[in-house]
């Protein structure tokens, strides 16, 4: 996991690039990682033209590869970035939903907004913090329990 | 590929309309990124491309109306960038047109048996194929 975070920090990833990489990862899940432009467009809710234009720049950066049928797949580097983004999103979402009780749908939206913006170190710290809070450690259980009581008061 | 239901046809038509209108907007912005001789040389090409994408979008919207629905437009577009060469602009144009062509080709088997729509999609494929070939030729 640490290596993935390091790789991610070395790359400046915009919100759009982050979404495209995650979309390719998700759409390609059932097809050995390969995704069609039409499916990526549908997943992202944008046009095929936009996906193609955006993919051109992503390809230049070596984050995706393309086959003869114009299907795309994440390169090794692209996959690491996508995984890092998804890990951060999962950490933020877990924090929002499981710790501070944000409803699932809102947690999904808000974690999506910040997934590519928070730094490597923040992501790692958040991940460790959630791991601790959701562990069986008595101090963590007590802290969460106290917080719930505070919320209800 | 299975024929699609009414609601899916309308969704697909809305997506096709968005492809065309987005291409129109991209052409609109792209021509202002051309400079000097390139701008002069491409003036007619871009005007024609804009006219045609708009015509296509209107034709699609009309088909949606015929199906008893109202066109629904979903475009998320922000385009910027500095000056581009004619070659770069045509490369972009090739991408929009190729994607429009692919979208119509994907739609064709799904509207098989619907005389009005099938005929319309076939015509669009022919037109878009011509556009793609024309741009590819200009880029040779």
Chain B contact for A56, CB < 8 A? yes
CA atoms of B74 and B19, how far apart (whole Å)? 10
Domains and CATH numbers, chain A: 10-74 (1.10.10.10), 86-152 (1.10.60)
pLDDT digits (tens, 9 = 90+) for A92-125: 999 999 888 899 999 999 998 888 788 777 888 8
Q: Average per-residue pLDDT in chain B?
A: 91
CB–CB contact B99 A56 (8 Å)? no
Q: Does residue B63 contact residue B108 with C-beta atoms inside 8 Å?
A: no
CA atoms of A122 and B73, how far apart (whole Å)? 39
To 10 degrees, what angle do helices A2-9 and A120-133 make? 150
In this prediction the pTM is: 0.81
**Number of CB pairs < 8 Å for A and B?**
41
CB–CB contact B95 A47 (8 Å)? no
CB–CB contact B99 A52 (8 Å)? yes
CA atoms of B57 and B62, how far apart (whole Å)? 9
CB–CB contact A52 B15 (8 Å)? no
The arithmetic mean of pLDDT across residues A64-68, rounded, is 93
Count Cβ neighbours within 10 Å for each residue of B33-42 and write b for 16 or more, e otherwise: bbeeebbeeb
CB–CB contact A49 B75 (8 Å)? no
Residues 6+ apart with CB under 8 A from B132: B94, B97, B98, B101
pLDDT digits (tens, 9 = 90+) for B51-84: 999 999 999 999 999 999 999 999 988 888 899 9
Between residues A8 and B8, the one the model is more confident about = B8
Query: Which of B4, B15, B91 to probe the A interface (max A CBs under 10 A)?
Result: B15
CB–CB contact A47 B22 (8 Å)? yes
Q: Which residue has the tokens 């730094």?
A: A119
pLDDT for B41: 84
Among residues of chain B, what percentage have pLDDT more than 90?
74
Dihedral, A138, A144, A149, A151 alpha carbons, nearest 10: 170
pLDDT digits (tens, 9 = 90+) for B7-59: 999 999 999 999 999 999 999 999 999 998 888 888 889 999 999 999 999 99
3-state secondary structure chain B: CCCCCHHHHHHHHHHHHHHHHHHHHHHHHHHHHCCHHHHHHHHHHHHHHHHHHHHHHHHHHHHHHHCCCCCCCCCCCCCCCCCCCHHHHHHHHHHHHHHHHHHHHHHHHHHCCCHHHHHHHHHHHHHHHHHHHHHHHHHC
pLDDT for B2: 54
pLDDT for B3: 53
Across the interface, which of A38, A47, A53 has its CB nearest the CB of B18? A47
Min Cα separation A50/chain B (Å): 8
Domain boundary assignment for chain B: 6-72+80-138
The arithmetic mean of pLDDT across residues A44-62, rounded, is 93
CATH class of B6-72+80-138: mainly alpha
Q: Does residue A50 contact residue B22 with C-beta atoms inside 8 Å?
A: yes
């Amino acid at each position: 996991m640490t290596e993935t975070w390091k790789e991610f920090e070395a790359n400046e990833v915009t919100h759009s690039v982050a979404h495209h990489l995650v979309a390719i990862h998700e759409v390609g899940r059932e097809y050995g990682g390969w995704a069609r432009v039409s499916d990526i467009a549908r997943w992202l809710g944008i046009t095929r033209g936009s996906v193609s234009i955006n993919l051109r720049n992503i390809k230049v950066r070596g984050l995706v590869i393309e086959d003869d049928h114009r299907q795309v797949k994440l390169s090794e580097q692209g996959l690491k970035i996508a995984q890092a983004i998804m890990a951060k999103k999962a950490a933020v979402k877990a924090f929002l939903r499981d710790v501070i009780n944000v409803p699932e749908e809102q947690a999904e939206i808000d974690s999506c907004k910040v997934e590519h913006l928070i730094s490597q170190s923040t992501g790692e710290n958040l991940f460790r913090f959630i791991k601790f809070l959701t562990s069986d450690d008595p101090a963590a259980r007590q802290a969460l329990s106290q917080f719930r009581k505070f919320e209800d008061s | 590929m299975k024929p699609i239901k009414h609601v899916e046809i309308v969704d697909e038509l809305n997506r096709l309309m968005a492809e065309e209108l987005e291409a129109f907007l991209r052409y609109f912005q792209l021509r202002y990124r051309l400079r000097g001789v390139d701008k002069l040389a491409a003036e007619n090409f871009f005007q024609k491309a804009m006219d045609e994408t708009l015509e296509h979008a209107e034709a699609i919207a009309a088909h949606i109306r015929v199906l008893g629905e109202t066109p629904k437009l979903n475009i998320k577009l922000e385009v910027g960038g500095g000056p581009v060469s004619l070659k770069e602009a045509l490369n972009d144009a090739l991408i929009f047109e190729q994607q429009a062509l692919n979208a119509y080709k994907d739609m064709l088997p799904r509207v098989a048996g619907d005389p009005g729509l099938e005929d319309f999609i076939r015509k669009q494929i022919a037109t878009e194929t011509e556009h793609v070939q024309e741009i590819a030729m200009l880029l040779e």
